[in-house]
Structure 1
Amino acid sequence: MSTTDPTMGPAFDDLVKLQRTADEAHHRLRQLNDACSRIPVNAWSEDQRAAWHVAWRAWVDCVRSVQEAITVYAVEHGEEIRHVDAQVKRAAGHNGPTV
């Protein structure tokens, strides 16, 4: 996964890219939620339900990928996962407390 050595885990820049991808997927899901929020969930069309499910699944998959990569990175570098997570979120542009 590393851009420098294929035998090693992810580089820090890889983690930031994965986090930004997860953030983009979350933004798309929120846009879809906002667009459909005026309609009760039980009144959504099949297309709306399918679109929401696809967006939700994409976001969950992205979050899982970034968390797995953060764990590998933290273990390889002897750092606490929560500290690496906080560093990645800051580097990806998150505001507010992260630890």
Structure 2
Amino acid sequence: MARTFDELVAMQQAADQAHSRVEELRDRYGPPTRTPWTQPQTEAYETAWRTWRDLALAVQTAVTEHATEQGAARSQTEADVKAAARHPGGGL
């Protein structure tokens, strides 16, 4: 199902937020090879990582569909979506 540009922006923002959560956990827990993570830490990280992966895949698929439907370059559509998601109100 093709999505609107605004929907793509919202999807990208969700993926970015999920990625931030993964980075936050990685920073908080440190490298697992230095200090082994507890089972709850491992589960929290893996859940966050899977969420990020799934959201990123969904937005990438939607960007491809949108670009194809609009007859636009996929790379430019992705760049526009990321710019709008990361700099709201910045205008394109």
Q: TM-score range by the shorter chain?
A: 0.7 to 0.9
Deviation string for 1:24-64 (max 9, x for gaps)? 00011111001101663661111111111000000000000
Identity value in percent: 39
Instruction: Give the aligned partner of residue 63 of structure 1.
Output: 56
Q: What is the count of residue pairs matched by the alignment?
A: 87
Please tell me whether residue 89 in structure 1 is matched to residue 82 in structure 2.
yes
Structure in which a larger fraction of residues adopt helix: 2
- After TM superposition, the structure 1 = structure 2 runs for residues 24-63 of structure 1, keeping only pairs within 5 Å, are 24-37=17-30, 40=33, 43-63=36-56
Between 1 and 2, higher relative CO (CA 8 Å, sep ≥ 6) is seen in 2
What value does the CA root-mean-square deviation take over the aligned residues?
Answer: 1.6
**Secondary structure, in 3 states, of the residue corresponding to 1:92?**
helix
Calculate the TM-score normalised by the size of structure 1.
0.81
Instruction: List runs of 5+ in structure 2 lacking aligned partners.
Output: 88-92
